[in-house]
């Protein structure tokens, strides 16, 4: 598989001993050779991890140089000491990535952490891990994949995607990495995503585009709906593809690629939800607004009854329809309709006779379960992805030994 890496970014991922299993990568370093526009989208949780507080202040910016990430410890709920540790991580990373001819200020670093909540960072391990990563920085595919591995926690699979396209005589590369299997491992948490491009974007452009992409992707996924303290998406654009900042037409093309890549990465999270046997794709249509549709989709996705029915391959449409009813936004019960894997189960507020055995088999035969829920005839719509609720999910999340 060929990866299309943006010019002017170096990567590294190393094992620093933060995670208990030896040899597992847990520190990632990404360095842009030149100042990059950087944008961030963060958790909406009011209980916010130290690195999120720090990055929020620093983005958007037109002068980011470094992203440093650790996994195995979220640096969340760690008070003032945690805040100081996040600042210190940036200082260490900026210094380690500097050279005699290129001194990087600490303020040009961004930081992400993911893992256990409520424990202080082991700063000695962080320090030596960052220095070791700085030694190994590289432009190539192996370095990129090491970096992607260094941000993983309970993920079963590495989550990366890259894209190359030509526009107006310019070649633009975009590379994205993400982690997250929901906030689901023993004490583990958080979605992280970092997208890097050599496209020339202003900081404001980057911020606007990242927000738009988040609303179509990472804001529409859930495993169990527990909003993490650490969720962070970063976009760094260093302009090394050359030329002046993207004009409206070029921006639209970039936006489309970015959105598709974010969706691709985001869907991998519930698909990889610990214990998950199905990815559930929920399309809500006919709501008054997109926001209403999102609220309904999130509510259906948050129902344990819906999620455990899919696990059991049970076309239990009453659970889906009733979840739509308590989403807290107006729906037209007389226009409610439901299709499950294209099989019509409910129409205009009345049940439709269907072959339950066939409907069950359709769930069993596919990793993807598709829910199409119509709630009226408004223009609002949303597509949301979640995972099913399985015995293994409960096993993983209860078998933490104190």
Among all residues, which ones are annotated catalytic?
A: 190
Exposure of 46 by Cβ count < 10 A (0-12 exposed, 13-18 middle, 19+ buried)?
exposed
Measured from the CB atom, is 90 or 306 closer to a copy of itself? Answer: 306
Closest CB 304 distance from a copy of itself, rounded Å: 4
**Lookup: tokens for 387:** 């995972």
Closest CB 396 distance from a copy of itself, rounded Å: 8
Closest CB 17 distance from a copy of itself, rounded Å: 22
Beta-bridged to residue 66, according to DSSP, are 31, 109
With tokens 């339950």, the residue in question is 356
Measured from the CB atom, is 195 or 343 closer to a copy of itself? Answer: 343
Closest CB 332 distance from a copy of itself, rounded Å: 9
Contact assessment for residue 63 and residue 238, using Cβ atoms and an 8 Å cutoff: no
Measured from the CB atom, is 103 or 322 closer to a copy of itself? Answer: 322
Measured from the CB atom, is 163 or 278 closer to a copy of itself? Answer: 278
Closest CB 389 distance from a copy of itself, rounded Å: 6
Measured from the CB atom, is 242 or 330 closer to a copy of itself? Answer: 330
């Amino acid at each position: 598989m060929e990866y299309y890496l943006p010019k002017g970014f170096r990567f590294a991922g190393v094992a620093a001993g933060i995670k208990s299993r030896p040899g597992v990568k847990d520190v990632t370093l990404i360095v842009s050779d030149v100042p990059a526009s950087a944008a961030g989208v963060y958790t909406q949780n009011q209980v916010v991890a130290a690195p999120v507080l720090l990055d929020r202040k620093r983005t958007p910016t037109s002068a980011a140089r470094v992203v440093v990430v650790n996994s195995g410890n979220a640096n969340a709920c760690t008070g003032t000491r945690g805040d100081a540790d996040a600042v210190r991580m940036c200082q260490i990373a900026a210094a380690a990535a500097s050279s005699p001819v290129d001194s990087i200020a600490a303020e040009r670093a961004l930081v992400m952490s993911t893992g256990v909540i409520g424990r202080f960072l082991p700063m000695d391990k962080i320090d030596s891990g960052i220095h070791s990563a700085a030694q190994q920085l590289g432009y190539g595919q192996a370095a990129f994949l090491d970096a992607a591995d260094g941000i993983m926690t309970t993920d079963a699979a590495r989550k990366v995607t890259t894209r190359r396209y030509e526009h107006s005589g310019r070649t633009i590369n975009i590379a994205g990495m993400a982690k997250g299997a929901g906030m689901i491992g023993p004490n583990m948490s958080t979605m992280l995503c970092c997208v890097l491009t050599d496209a020339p974007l202003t900081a404001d452009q980057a911020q606007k585009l990242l927000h738009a992409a988040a609303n179509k992707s990472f804001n529409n996924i859930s495993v169990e709906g527990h909003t993490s303290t650490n969720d962070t998406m970063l976009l760094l654009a260093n302009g090394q593809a050359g030329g002046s900042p993207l004009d409206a037409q070029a921006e639209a093309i970039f936006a489309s690629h970015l959105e598709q890549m974010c969706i691709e990465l985001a869907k991998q999270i519930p698909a990889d939800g610990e214990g998950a046997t199905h990815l559930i794709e929920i399309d809500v249509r006919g709501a008054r607004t997109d926001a209403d549709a999102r609220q309904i989709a999130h509510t259906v996705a948050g129902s344990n009854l819906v999620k455990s029915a899919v696990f059991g391959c049970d076309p239990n449409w009453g659970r889906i329809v009733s979840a739509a009813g308590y989403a807290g936004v107006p729906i037209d019960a007389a226009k409610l309709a439901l299709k499950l894997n294209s099989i019509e189960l409910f129409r205009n507020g009345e049940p439709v006779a269907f072959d339950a055995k066939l409907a069950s088999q359709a769930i069993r035969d596919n990793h993807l379960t598709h829910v199409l829920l119509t709630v009226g005839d408004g223009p609002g719509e949303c597509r949301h992805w979640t995972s099913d609720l399985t015995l293994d999910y409960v096993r993983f999340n209860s078998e933490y030994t104190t």
